[in-house]
Amino acid sequence: MNNRVVEDALLQQSAVAPTKKTVQMPIGVPGYTLTEESREVPVTEPPVWPINKDLKYVGQSVERYDGQAKVSGRARYTSDVQLPGMLYAKFVNAPMPHAKVVSIDTSAAEKYPGVRGVHVIQHVLGNAVLRNPALDAVKYPVVRYAGQPVAAVAATTPAAAEEAAALVKVRYEAIPFVVDEIKARATDAPKVFPGAADEEGSAGGGGGPSDVRQTGNIHGPSIHRHGEIAQGFKDADVVVEGRYVTQVQTHSALETHGVVADWKPELLTVWASTQGTASVREELAGFFKIPLTQVRVITEFMGGGFGAKFGAGNPGVVAAALSNKTGAPVRLMLDREEEHLSVGNRPSSDQTLRIGAKQDGTITAIHLVAYGTAGCGTGAGCSGPASNLYKTAALHTEESDVFINAGPASAMRAPGHPQGAFALEQTIDELAVKLNMEPIDLRDKTDEHPVRRVERQVVRDSDLWKSRNPVAGASQGPVKRGVGMAQSVWYRFVSMSSSAEVRIYKDGSLEVLSAVQDIGSGVKTVMAQILAEQFGVPPAQIAVKVGDTHYPEGPNSGGSMTTLSLTPAVRDAAWQASQMFLSDIAPALGTTSDDLVLVDGEVRSRSGKFAPISFRRAAAKMATSQIAVQAKRIPDYDPKKYLTYGGIDVAEVEVDTELGRIHVRRVLSVHDCGRPMNPAQVISQINGGIIQGISYTLLENRLLDPIYGLMVNPDLEQYKIIGAREIPDIDVRLVEAYIGQSSTDASGIGEAAGVVSIGAAIGNAVYNAIGVRIRQTPMTPAVVLAALRAPAPGKELA
When asked if residue 83 is in the footprint of another protein (CB under 8 A), the reply is: no
Burial of 794 (0-12, 13-18, 19+ CB in 10 A): exposed
- Residue 317's nearest CA partner among 263, 267, 278, 276 is 263
When asked if residue 727 is in the footprint of another protein (CB under 8 A), the reply is: yes
When asked if residue 162 is in the footprint of another protein (CB under 8 A), the reply is: no
Backbone φ and ψ of 296, nearest 5°: -120, 130
Nearest approach, Cβ of 80 to another protein (angstroms)? 4
CB 646 within 8 A of CB 486: no
- Closer to another protein by Cβ: residue 68 or 107: 68
When asked if residue 671 is in the footprint of another protein (CB under 8 A), the reply is: no
Interface residue with another protein among 290, 721, 785, 797 (CB under 8 A) is: 721
292: left (phi over 0), alpha (psi -120 to 50) or beta: alpha
When asked if residue 253 is in the footprint of another protein (CB under 8 A), the reply is: yes
Nearest approach, Cβ of 688 to another protein (angstroms)? 3
223 DSSP β-pair partners:
398
When asked if residue 269 is in the footprint of another protein (CB under 8 A), the reply is: no
When asked if residue 690 is in the footprint of another protein (CB under 8 A), the reply is: yes
- Closer to another protein by Cβ: residue 314 or 521: 521
CB 451 within 8 A of CB 29: yes
Nearest approach, Cβ of 286 to another protein (angstroms)? 28
> Using only C-alpha atoms, what is the Rg of the chain?
28
Interface residue with another protein among 18, 50, 67, 470 (CB under 8 A) is: 67
Interface residue with another protein among 60, 79, 419, 488 (CB under 8 A) is: 79
When asked if residue 71 is in the footprint of another protein (CB under 8 A), the reply is: yes
Point out which span in 17-25, 360-368, 537-545, 720-728 binds another protein (CB under 8 A): 720-728
- Closer to another protein by Cβ: residue 150 or 694: 694
Burial of 672 (0-12, 13-18, 19+ CB in 10 A): buried
- Closer to another protein by Cβ: residue 216 or 689: 689
- Closer to another protein by Cβ: residue 70 or 466: 70
Which 3 state secondary structure label does DSSP give 83? coil
The number of beta carbons lying within 10 Å of the beta carbon of residue 73 is 8
When asked if residue 712 is in the footprint of another protein (CB under 8 A), the reply is: no
Interface residue with another protein among 715, 782, 790, 795 (CB under 8 A) is: 715
- 6-65: which residues touch another protein (CB under 8 A)? 61, 63-64
When asked if residue 717 is in the footprint of another protein (CB under 8 A), the reply is: yes
Nearest approach, Cβ of 515 to another protein (angstroms)? 19
When asked if residue 4 is in the footprint of another protein (CB under 8 A), the reply is: no
CB 185 within 8 A of CB 402: yes
Distances (CA, A) of 688 to 225, 385, 669: 34, 21, 11
Point out which span in 52-60, 197-205, 264-272, 722-730 binds another protein (CB under 8 A): 722-730
- Closer to another protein by Cβ: residue 67 or 195: 67
Cα separation, 452 vs 494, in Å, equals 22
- Residue 644's nearest CA partner among 460, 451, 776 is 451
When asked if residue 159 is in the footprint of another protein (CB under 8 A), the reply is: yes
- Residue 345's nearest CA partner among 277, 406, 283 is 406
When asked if residue 114 is in the footprint of another protein (CB under 8 A), the reply is: no
Q: What's 128's DSSP letter?
A: -
Point out which span in 133-141, 276-284, 303-311, 573-581 binds another protein (CB under 8 A): 303-311
Interface residue with another protein among 35, 723, 789, 791 (CB under 8 A) is: 723
Q: Which helix (H) or strand (E) holds 581?
A: helix 562-585
When asked if residue 771 is in the footprint of another protein (CB under 8 A), the reply is: no
Interface residue with another protein among 140, 193, 263, 306 (CB under 8 A) is: 306
- Closer to another protein by Cβ: residue 141 or 693: 693
Interface residue with another protein among 32, 34, 48, 80 (CB under 8 A) is: 80
When asked if residue 733 is in the footprint of another protein (CB under 8 A), the reply is: no
654 DSSP β-pair partners:
481, 663
Point out which span in 78-86, 169-177, 220-228, 476-484 binds another protein (CB under 8 A): 78-86
Nearest approach, Cβ of 308 to another protein (angstroms)? 11
Helix intervals (H) in 172-276: 181-184, 229-234
When asked if residue 252 is in the footprint of another protein (CB under 8 A), the reply is: yes
When asked if residue 70 is in the footprint of another protein (CB under 8 A), the reply is: yes
Peptide bond into 679 cis (omega under 30): no
Distances (CA, A) of 70 to 65, 73, 74, 76, 300: 10, 5, 6, 9, 12
Q: Which helix (H) or strand (E) holds 38?
A: strand 35-42
Interface residue with another protein among 168, 523, 691, 769 (CB under 8 A) is: 691
Interface residue with another protein among 521, 549, 657, 768 (CB under 8 A) is: 521
CB 722 within 8 A of CB 785: no
Q: What's 728's DSSP letter?
A: P
Distances (CA, A) of 625 to 218, 603, 604, 628: 63, 19, 22, 10
520: left (phi over 0), alpha (psi -120 to 50) or beta: left
When asked if residue 74 is in the footprint of another protein (CB under 8 A), the reply is: yes
When asked if residue 688 is in the footprint of another protein (CB under 8 A), the reply is: yes
Helix intervals (H) in 272-378: 277-288, 313-326, 336-342
- Closer to another protein by Cβ: residue 69 or 182: 69
What order of strands is seen across the sheet that includes strand 214-215? 214-215, 218-226, 394-402, 363-372, 349-357, 238-246
Cα separation, 628 vs 188, in Å, equals 65
Backbone φ and ψ of 732, nearest 5°: -95, 130
When asked if residue 199 is in the footprint of another protein (CB under 8 A), the reply is: no
- Closer to another protein by Cβ: residue 621 or 720: 720
When asked if residue 642 is in the footprint of another protein (CB under 8 A), the reply is: no
Q: What's 641's DSSP letter?
A: S
Interface residue with another protein among 52, 495, 692, 768 (CB under 8 A) is: 692
- Degrees, nearest 5: CA angle 250-682-246: 30
Spell out, one character per residue from 739 to 758, where the chain touches another protein: x when CB under 8 A holds, - when not: --------------------
Spell out, one character per residue from 328 to 367, where the chain touches another protein: x when CB under 8 A holds, - when not: -------xx-------------------------------
Nearest approach, Cβ of 495 to another protein (angstroms)? 21
Interface residue with another protein among 372, 520, 539, 676 (CB under 8 A) is: 520
When asked if residue 725 is in the footprint of another protein (CB under 8 A), the reply is: yes
Residue count of the chain: 798
When asked if residue 716 is in the footprint of another protein (CB under 8 A), the reply is: yes
Q: What's 227's DSSP letter?
A: S
Cα separation, 12 vs 520, in Å, equals 44
- Closer to another protein by Cβ: residue 148 or 252: 252
Point out which span in 76-84, 140-148, 435-443, 541-549 binds another protein (CB under 8 A): 76-84
Question: Contact positions toward another protein, by CB under 8 A?
Answer: 61, 63-64, 66-77, 79-80, 82, 158-159, 251-255, 301-304, 306, 335-336, 519-522, 680-681, 683-685, 687-692, 715-717, 721, 723-725, 727, 729-730
